[in-house]
Amino acid sequence: MKKIEEYVRSIPDFPEPGIIFRDVTSILQDADGLRLAVDSMQKCLEGTEVDVIVGMESRGFLFGVPIAYNLNRPFVMVRKQGKLPCETISRTYDLEYGSATIEIHKDAIKPGQRVAIIDDLIATGGTVEAAAKMVEELGGQVVKIVFLMELAGLKGREKLKGYDVSSVISYPGK
């Protein structure tokens, strides 16, 4: 069986010269790659008591839902502003050029619940930091954050100090 890194398509000079884009679609389009990705991410949760899986829009949904299903845990979506139908709380965070806002349903996390946050990629860490703060605002405890891929050169882990963070694959650059 191939290693998960072998399923990742690397595209040079996208979206701009000097950047190597790590494409998750090549993993999703291969049944063995998808199974390996989900299993590898789920393995990062071994030994951690988790009540709820939270996934980040949109690729965090793709990996978080099967993990929640396998663990028989509920799945909670963190979405872009204006996409959730019920009462929400929100958090705005900085992007390279501007800002973005994400939301979670106000009733999605109960006080004291142990939460694992799942996403496909950590770059600067701003999105997941905002999600973790919302989970905590609702009274949840972030017990683990799991990424499929990490762009270590962007130092996203620094924003997530104090959290237990794992990534399946780590690339040294941006």
Segment 43-84, tens digit of pLDDT: 999 999 999 999 999 999 999 999 999 999 999 999 999 999
The tokens for 138 are 């609702």
pLDDT at 162: 96
Who's near 31: CB < 8 A, 6+ residues apart?
Answer: none
CB 36 within 8 A of CB 7: yes
Categorize the per-residue pLDDT at 174 as very low, low, confident or very high, splitting at 50, 70 and 90.
confident
Sequence-separated contacts (24+) of 92-101 with Cβ below 8 Å: 92/130, 93/126, 93/127, 93/129, 93/130, 94/126, 95/126, 96/124, 100/127
pLDDT at 129: 98
Categorize the per-residue pLDDT at 120 as very low, low, confident or very high, splitting at 50, 70 and 90.
very high
Q: Is the pLDDT of residue 1 over 80?
A: no
Q: Which residues are identified as catalytic?
A: 59, 96
CA distances from 85 to 45, 118, 128 (A): 30, 22, 21
Chain segment 85-106, per-residue pLDDT in tens: 999 999 999 887 789 999 999 9
Report how far Cα 70 is from the mean position of its chain's Cα atoms: 17
Query: Mean pLDDT throughout 14-19?
Result: 88
H or E segment and range at residue 65: helix 59-71
The tokens for 152 are 């270590």
Q: How far apart are CA 111 and CA 109, in angstroms?
A: 7
Which residue type does 15 have? P
pLDDT at 15: 87
Chain segment 126-155, per-residue pLDDT in tens: 999 999 999 999 999 999 999 999 999 999
